[in-house]
Structure 1
Amino acid sequence: MSSSFKGILYPARLPMFHRLPAPATVEHLVQWFWIPEWDIAPGRVSRQQLLAYPACNLVVQPDGMELSGPTTRVSHQDLSGTGWAVGALLKPAAVPFFAANPRELCDARLDVEAPKLLAAVVHAMGGAAPEEQREKAVAIFADWLAEQLPEASAEALLANAMTEAIANNPELVRIEDAAAQLSVSTRTLQRMAKKYVGLSPSALIRRRRLQEAADHARAHPEMDLAAVAAEFGYADQAHLANDFQRFLGITASSYRRAVGAGPVGSGGL
């Protein structure tokens, strides 16, 4: 599937990384599966910084399972030694099974007890052929989710449609825009976001815009930052600057220098 780096702030630092599509049986529960594999030299650490999708991830690693909630700002994962992970980016419909109040999961990680799934995925990832072991691990993970999670309600599927619309339509820059596209009230949208995501619709829109702006600033170093701001629906360059500083803790110009994009035509971010 697509190897888009949106949300990954420093793609050049990535270990071996794969995204696999969700099987049809869990398309309503999982956006995609992701599998990083790494072999870091002794004594070194590779820090992966993310402006993650505003969603929960269920992750299997050799030593256990955890559920990580949606993040409210840039996050990081330090990798060392040799290892792997098999993660499922959950759609909103899957979240109530794991948390009655998704808001409590924001910026948090919880251990998940599923020893049979853990053992099966660990065994699959120990196979000889890397591509086959990834596909087998995902199939095992998907089968477990399909067996464990109840059938999604109409409201849960509408919550899926909400996050999909916001994530994929750059023309949705206000809550009212998203509500109109889904033919629901803004109050309904806010209620669903609270119940199934843990973040407000405004936060979802803001995350998409900032992800896209950061990705574009990295991929198109020739583009003036004021033009980047306009491209992704910011009122002006100052608003883009505020979001970079607030959620990433750095300026856009500093980010561009860090990814090797060189000087920018419009400084001050």
Structure 2
Amino acid sequence: MPTNTNSNSPMPSLGIINFQQGGHKFQLCRYAPAEDVAYFVRHYWVVKWDLAGEDPYTQHVIPNPCVNLVVEQGKTAIFGPGKEKYGHRLEGQGSVFGVKFKPGGFYPFVQENVSSMLNNALCIGDVFDTDPRVLEEKVFSHSDDERNVSLVENMIRSKLPAQDEQVIVVNQIVDYVYEQPEITKVDAICEHFRMNIRTLQRLFDQYVGVSPKWVIKIARIQSAAETTDGNDTHNWAKLSMDLGYHDQSHFIKDFKSILGQTPEEYALRKQTK
């Protein structure tokens, strides 16, 4: 049976900006995939909200090196990794069902460079032989999350490719970057995994869709945002040093390039919510 994590429980934000502040606007549940599908899929996620009589709310998310299959009324598609934060407008009452593939986990389904998906969402019918409108009707005809997990998981399983060892390699590299804040250069990845830089870059272009340099950058900025969300006082110089930046200005530039705000602007906006 899938496991379920509710947004009311302590959990990593996984890139959801101002997670604790925005959590009262929606409910987020994550479900673990079955063992065979788990080689490719990180988890299923469900967002539900009821803002009837309230102002609309936009929840922003920091991009990550994962492909997501998103089932939403009239908008169902498969989306590659993004380069900047993106927002989802919540209004009235509604829900979204999603599948987050592991970094590199979607490539075996299509055998095409994931980098081609950066600005081009895929129709699920092109990958899973499923009409998106029919899938939407099935998913939103009831409110049973586990039933939908089984439905979508069976759809994925029907097209399950052979296990590709490169997916394991990619996940080891991405996990290493996220777990080691002192990693600031691609050369350090190459040295640790004994891999030529060109080989590493081709691997990420093919399987992940973004460069290893970008993954390093986004991991540091996500860490910075989560640290800012969890504290009321801030020492930007210390935070930039903790994240391996040689100077605060470089940290601020990277932070703004992803979130559209300086760290100080981000912190002030959080306080006014």
TM-score between both structures, scaled by the size of structure 1: 0.85
Instruction: Write the distance in 1 (CA, Å) between the matches of 2:170 and 2:62.
Output: 22
Q: Which moved more, 1:162-171 or 1:75-84?
A: 162-171
Partner in structure 2 of residue 247 of structure 1: 258
1:76 to 87, 111, 114: 87
For 1:167 and 1:118, the matched residues in 2 are separated by 37
* Runs of at least 5 residues in structure 1 that lack an aligned partner in the other structure: 263-269
Once the two structures are superposed, the pairs formed by residues 128-167 of structure 1 within 5 Å of their partners are: 133-167=144-178
Partners of 1:118 and 1:164 lie apart in 2 by 35
What amino acid is the match of 1:228?
A: L
What is the CA distance between 1:59 and its match in structure 2?
1.1
- Pairwise CA distance, 1:199: 0.8
1:93 correspondence with 2:102: no
What amino acid does structure 2 have at the position aligned with 1:254? E
Deviations 1:235-267 (A, max 9, x none): 2211111112222111111100111189xxxxx
Partner of 2:214: 203
Matched, 1:177 2:182: no
**Structure-2 residue corresponding to 1:256:** 267
Q: Match of 2:123, SS?
A: strand
- Number of positions where the alignment pairs a residue of Structure 1 with one of Structure 2: 258
Farther-moved stretch of structure 1 (187-196 vs 7-16): 7-16
* Contact 2:124/2:132 (<8 A) preserved: no
- Asked if the contact 1:67–1:112 (Cα under 8 Å) also holds between the matched residues in 2, the reply is yes
What is aligned with 2:238? 227
What is residue 112 of structure 1 aligned with on the other side?
Answer: 124
Write the distance in 1 (CA, Å) between the matches of 2:221 and 2:161: 34
Equivalent AA in structure 1 for residue 146 of structure 2: E
Q: Which amino acid in structure 2 is aligned with residue 104 of structure 1? A: S
| Residues 108 and 162, structure 2, Cα contact 8 Å, conserved in 1 | no
Q: 1:30 matched to which residue of 2?
A: 41
Q: CA RMSD for the aligned pairs?
A: 2.5
Q: Percent identity?
A: 23
Q: Which residue of 2 aligns with 1:216?
A: 227
Aligned match for 1:236, one of 239, 247, 251: 247
Q: 2:124–2:131: 8 Å Cα contact kept in structure 1? A: no
> How far 1:190 sits from its partner (Å)?
0.9
Residue 184 of structure 2 contacts residue 216 of structure 2 at CA under 8 Å; is this kept in 1?
Answer: yes
TM-score (norm 2): 0.84
3-state DSSP of counterpart to 1:24? coil
Determine the C-alpha separation between the residues in 1 that align with 2:45 and 2:133.
16
Distance (Å, rounded) in 2 between the aligned partners of 1:201 and 1:241: 20
Q: Give the 3-state SS of the residue equivalent to 2:30 in structure 1.
A: strand
The letter of the residue matching 2:189 is A
SS in 2 for 1:27: helix
